[in-house]
Amino acid sequence: MNIENADRRDANRILSAALDDPGTLPDRDLDRTLELLESDAKRVRIGAAWVFGIVATDTPGRALSYVSKIVDRLDDTEIGSEVTRALAYIADADPERIERELRSMDEETARRCRAALWGELAERTVVRTPTDDEKADGDAMGRPESDEWGWIGGGRRTEVYDTGSEPDRRRPPTERPVAPSTVDYDYDQYTPVGTIYRDEAVESFKVSYRTPDGGTAPGIFKRFRPPEEGDFESTFDRRIRMWQSIDDHESILPVVDWGTDPVPWVVTAYEDVNGVATLGRNGRPDAAVWTLSNVAESLCFAHRRGVIHGGLTPGSIVRSSIFTEPNAWRLPRVTDWGYVSLLRKTAPLESVSARYLAPEHVDHGSPGVVDGVTDVYGFGIVAYEALVGEPPFGPDSDSEDGLSIPAAIDRRFPEIESFLRRCLADRKPERFQTVEEMMTAFRSATEDADG
């Protein structure tokens, strides 16, 4: 009891001194505050976390020097929430500096700290999309051993939020993800947390950034190396503005920020799962049909507003878990609106396999230009992969070789083969001419799906 009283007295004194003038708070008081984080009294621990927050706001560098010592206390479950609170205050004061500090620590300590700060997001790393050369066996994009499409996860915190493997998910979600606030920052105001993908034309990173309400949010930051010829920047700017004009739809991934200086870049909401092949691979036709209906609706919504995707592939579909509904299907959201064809104008994109692209993307000759009918082809590719679990065409085959629909799918949806053939026709006049027409036909072909 005496120790607790001493802790309370010291906590009150140090907190009072920090509030008066954090700059003059002696080091011995900060050392004592560190001890107070382990106090038996919760109120004292909260006060200690506040002290670190106040000092971090005034002199971030001083508080940062205590980060590794604070992280050492994370494993104590009794005091974990106050320790995390102290770390969050310090991170919030200067996200970039804490990231630099974390990089100077040993990997395990930094990992634990990131996990405390960013929860399940900190421990996820995207798997690079394989190219034709790497995946000559014709597997779908993504890695079978990953927890879900395109992303691998791990760690106990991931399990807390993302328990549902695909077969455990049995119904559509009733809630929807909260859209992140848009911000207007410069290129260098985003703190990189990890590299997602890198090639000649595109680099993407997981980043954290400050939200307008003072919090910290994760995002996906993509930057592009513009082709030397042409006016890439202004066209890119137009395409992103078009994307932003439709991102209020629940199945379209929201744009957070973008710019063209020093290179074209865009930040979107962070999503941890992409691709749809898992649905087909795990034999989830009801979930696949629901997912595809959402994708089709997002395309209709966009086309009604004069926006086309122009490069829809399974990799353009991210799927969001609703944390409060771990047994609900993941909500699909379409990303990368409008700029895939722009990037492909001068050279093929490594990250987008040619076998997923419409003939008008690959061959700039006879098939015509990229337009709304190109999205019909893209939807056909996504639909096939979601239902069957692999791409419709192997690396060495083309669409003239014909589609092969598994018997189980054919029995359940007898009209789906003709629907897919029409979507995936090489010649544009043979495809559905509008996405509305395509969506009507898709509904008709899948109307007996339960779910």
Residue 311 tokens, joined: 């490069």
Dihedral sign for Cα atoms in the order 149, 154, 158, 163: positive
Residue of 282, 288, 220 lying closest to 254 (CA atoms) = 220
Site string for other proteins, 268-297 (x = CB under 8 A): ------------------------------
Residue 175 tokens, joined: 């809630």
Taking residue 111's Cβ as centre, other Cβ atoms within 10 Å add up to: 16
Residue of 218, 210, 224, 189 lying closest to 336 (CA atoms) = 224
Place of tokens 């560098």: 61
Residue 31 tokens, joined: 């050392």
CB of 240 to other proteins, least distance (A): 8
Q: Which of 185, 437, 443, 447 binds other proteins (CB under 8 A)?
A: 437
Question: What is the C-alpha to C-alpha distance for residues 203 and 221, in angstroms, rounded to an integer?
Answer: 8
Question: Which residues are CB-neighbours of 339 under 8 A, at least 6 positions away?
Answer: 224, 236, 239, 240, 311
Number of H helices, E strands in the chain: 18, 9
Residue 311 in contact with other proteins, rule: CB under 8 A: no
Q: Which of 59, 131, 211, 434 binds other proteins (CB under 8 A)?
A: 434
Nearer to other proteins among residue 275 and residue 338 (C-beta): 338
Residue 5 tokens, joined: 């009283």
Nearer to other proteins among residue 48 and residue 439 (C-beta): 439
Question: What is the C-alpha to C-alpha distance for residues 127 and 228, in angstroms, rounded to an integer?
Answer: 29
DSSP letters of 244-261? HHHTTSTTBPPEEEEE-S
Give per-residue burial for 165-196: e unless 16+ CB within 10 Å, then b.
ebeebeebbeeebeebeebeeebeebbebeeb
Nearer to other proteins among residue 34 and residue 242 (C-beta): 242
Nearer to other proteins among residue 51 and residue 242 (C-beta): 242
Three-class SS of residue 382?
A: helix
- Residue 383 · residue 415 · CB < 8 Å: no
Nearer to other proteins among residue 182 and residue 245 (C-beta): 245
Residue 310 in contact with other proteins, rule: CB under 8 A: yes
Residue 304 in contact with other proteins, rule: CB under 8 A: yes
Site string for other proteins, 34-73 (x = CB under 8 A): ----------------------------------------
Taking residue 104's Cβ as centre, other Cβ atoms within 10 Å add up to: 10
CB of 182 to other proteins, least distance (A): 13
Question: What is the C-alpha to C-alpha distance for residues 190 and 168, in angstroms, rounded to an integer?
Answer: 36
Binding residues for other proteins restricted to 234-273, rule: CB under 8 A = 234-235, 237-242, 244-246
Binding residue count for other proteins, defined by CB under 8 A:
34
- Residue 318 · residue 312 · CB < 8 Å: no
Nearer to other proteins among residue 189 and residue 434 (C-beta): 434
CB of 100 to other proteins, least distance (A): 36
CB of 300 to other proteins, least distance (A): 5
| φ, ψ (nearest 5 deg) of residue 193 | -110, -30
Site string for other proteins, 338-377 (x = CB under 8 A): x--x---------------------------xxxxxxx--
Nearer to other proteins among residue 64 and residue 246 (C-beta): 246
Residue 305 in contact with other proteins, rule: CB under 8 A: yes
Q: Which of 58, 92, 426, 436 binds other proteins (CB under 8 A)?
A: 436
Nearer to other proteins among residue 170 and residue 345 (C-beta): 345
Nearer to other proteins among residue 53 and residue 311 (C-beta): 311
CB of 341 to other proteins, least distance (A): 8
Nearer to other proteins among residue 90 and residue 382 (C-beta): 382
Nearer to other proteins among residue 291 and residue 341 (C-beta): 341
Nearer to other proteins among residue 306 and residue 414 (C-beta): 306
Q: Which of 64, 193, 358, 439 binds other proteins (CB under 8 A)?
A: 439
Residue 303 in contact with other proteins, rule: CB under 8 A: yes
Residue 306 in contact with other proteins, rule: CB under 8 A: yes
Taking residue 241's Cβ as centre, other Cβ atoms within 10 Å add up to: 13
Place of tokens 């994307």: 243
Question: Which residues are CB-neighbours of 34 under 8 A, at least 6 positions away?
Answer: 48, 66, 69, 70
Site string for other proteins, 116-155 (x = CB under 8 A): ----------------------------------------
Residue 307 in contact with other proteins, rule: CB under 8 A: yes
315-310-423-389 Cα dihedral, nearest 10 degrees = 0
For binding to other proteins (CB under 8 A), which residues are involved?
Answer: 234-235, 237-242, 244-246, 300, 302-308, 310, 338, 341, 369-375, 433-434, 436-437, 439
